Homo-oligomer: A and B are copies of this chain.
Amino acid sequence: MIKYILTTILCTLVLSNCASLNHEPKRYCWVTGLKPEKADYYRKLHADPWPSVTKQLKDSHIQNYSIHEIDIKGKTQLIAYLEYTGKDFDADMKRLACDPEIQRWWKETDPCQSPLPQAKGIWADTKEIFFLK
């Protein structure tokens, strides 16, 4: 009987873990330019990001976040892809933007970036036209 109860508890824990893994995240993809004279510093920062920054991102329900660079017609562009697993993206982003460590990080990274004309801030939005789970 004890074995049965323990096994049932284990199953419940595993199932609840799987349920969280199966939660559907919302995808975001953004683009910004990278200034040639600041590119190496930007790459260096992102090769070894501050733990205070990565912790804040995770606490803001961001996962599977990658940044990729590519030259498009002589200009280096950065592509950010990330997934948001929270319930209120705007609220989480506002809270993130108020964090002193995030502000200290952006003070280093913002001057490296060269936003596209249509961007409201640093990163310009893209539009998703296809998704295959």
Contacts and interface: CB of A to CB of B under 8 A. Distances in A.
> Assembly of this chain: how many copies?
2
A43 interface: yes
A61 B127 CA distance: 25
A70 B69 CA distance: 15
A71 interface: yes
Interface residues of A, number: 51
Contacts of A49: 130, 132
Interface in A4-19: 4, 7-8, 10-11, 14-15, 17-18
Interface of A: 3-4, 7-8, 10-11, 14-15, 17-18, 21, 27, 29, 31, 42-43, 46-47, 49, 54, 57-58, 62-73, 75, 77-79, 81, 116, 118, 124-133
